[in-house]
C-alpha cells in the first residue's frame, strides 16, 4: 500500500475526486496534510502527493506544489485550465491534470509520476537455477560463488545461456563469438566448451550438452532435451 498526501483537498469537488481515485485503486492510502506541512514530514511519511489547485484562482497553488516536489516525492497537481503558474518543465516530478478531470486520469498520472520516481532496477542478468550471468559486470556466479572465466569463455557461456535449448553448430559459434579472431578451426570451440564444463558443471549441474555431429546447446536446470549427450566433446 502506498501513502499519498492530499494537499488542498477541502471542498466537495476535491473530496469527490479523492473518493473516486480510492475506489479505483484501493492500494492507495490518502493522508491529508496542510500547506504548512514541512517537506521533511512529507519525505518521510508518503510516497506521493496530490495537490488540489482547481480552486486556487489565477495565482495557482505554486507554493504547496513546489513544497511537495522539494520533498522529493512525485506530485500530481489538479489545476484550472486558465493557469500553469509556478509549473515548469524543470520540475520533472510534477504531473499536471486540468479541471475538470476524471479519477481515471488522475490515477494514471499518479502511477506515471511514481514509476518515474522509482529506483532503477537492473534486469541485465541471465539466471538459470543457481547459475547467474551478470551482463553488466561480466561476472558469473554459481551457487553464490564467483566463477573465474576468460573473456571468450564468458562470451560463449552468455551466448549459449541466452538461447537455452537451441543447438548451435561449431561453425556458427565461431562466427558469433570469435568472428575472424581465431585460429585452429572448430576445434577452438571444443576446447573452450571443455574448459567451461570443468568450471560450471558438477554432479548436480550439466549446463552444456553435446548434440552429436551438430554442436552444442545450453540446458537450463529443470529443462529436458532429447537426442543429446551431456558428456564431453
- 104 and 73 assigned to the same domain: yes
Residue-wise pLDDT tens digits, 30-77 = 888 776 777 677 777 788 888 887 655 434 456 667 677 777 778 888
What's the CATH number where 38 sits? 3.40.50.2300
Angle between helices 103-117 and 12-24 (to 10 degrees): 70
- 111 and 170 assigned to the same domain: no
Indicate the residue among 117, 140, 163 that finishes a domain.
117
Question: How many domains, in total, are found in the chain?
Answer: 2
Indicate the residue among 59, 86, 117 that finishes a domain.
117
Answer yes or no: is 164 within a domain: yes
CA-derived radius of gyration, the chain: 28
Answer yes or no: is 231 within a domain: no
Query: What predicted TM-score, i.e. pTM, was given to this entire model?
Result: 0.46
Backbone angles phi, psi at 64, to 5 degrees: -75, -30
- 96 and 135 assigned to the same domain: no
Answer yes or no: is 223 within a domain: no
Give residue 191's domain range. 125-218
Q: In this prediction, what percent of the chain has a pLDDT beyond 90?
A: 17
Residues 6+ apart with CB under 8 A from 151: 138
- 19 and 80 assigned to the same domain: yes
- The string of DSSP codes covering 91-136 is -TTEEEEEES--HHHHHHHHHHHHHHHSPP----EEEETTEEEETT
Q: Are strands 48-52 and 2-7 parallel, antiparallel or unpaired?
A: parallel
Answer yes or no: is 30 within a domain: yes
Lowest model confidence (mean pLDDT) among 14-23, 40-49, 101-110: 40-49
- 6 and 79 assigned to the same domain: yes
- 38 and 70 assigned to the same domain: yes
CB distance 180 to 219 below 8 Å: no
Amino acid at each position: 500500500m502506498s501513502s499519498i498526501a492530499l494537499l488542498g483537498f477541502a471542498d466537495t469537488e476535491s473530496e469527490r475526486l479523492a473518493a473516486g481515485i480510492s475506489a479505483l485503486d484501493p492500494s492507495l492510502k490518502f493522508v491529508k496534510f496542510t500547506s504548512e506541512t514541512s517537506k521533511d514530514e512529507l519525505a518521510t511519511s508518503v510516497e506521493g502527493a496530490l495537490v488540489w489547485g482547481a480552486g486556487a484562482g489565477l495565482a495557482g497553488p505554486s507554493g504547496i506544489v513546489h513544497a511537495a516536489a522539494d520533498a522529493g516525492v512525485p506530485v500530481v497537481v489538479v489545476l484550472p485550465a486558465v493557469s500553469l503558474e509556478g509549473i515548469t518543465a524543470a520540475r520533472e516530478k510534477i504531473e499536471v491534470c486540468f479541471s475538470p478531470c476524471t479519477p481515471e486520469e488522475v490515477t494514471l498520472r499518479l502511477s506515471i509520476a511514481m514509476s518515474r520516481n522509482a529506483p532503477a532496477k537492473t534486469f541485465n542478468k541471465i539466471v538459470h537455477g543457481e547459475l547467474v550471468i551478470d551482463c553488466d559486470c561480466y561476472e558469473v556466479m554459481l551457487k553464490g560463488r564467483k566463477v573465474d572465466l576468460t573473456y571468450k569463455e564468458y562470451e560463449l557461456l552468455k551466448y549459449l545461456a541466452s538461447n537455452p535449448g537451441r543447438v548451435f553448430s561449431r561453425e556458427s559459434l565461431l562466427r558469433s563469438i570469435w568472428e575472424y579472431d581465431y585460429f585452429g578451426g572448430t576445434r577452438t570451440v571444443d576446447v573452450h566448451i571443455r574448459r567451461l564444463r570443468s568450471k560450471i558443471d558438477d554432479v548436480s549441474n550439466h549446463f552444456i550438452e553435446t548434440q552429436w555431429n551438430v554442436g552444442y546447446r545450453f540446458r537450463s536446470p529443470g529443462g529436458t532435451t532429447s537426442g543429446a549427450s551431456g558428456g564431453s566433446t
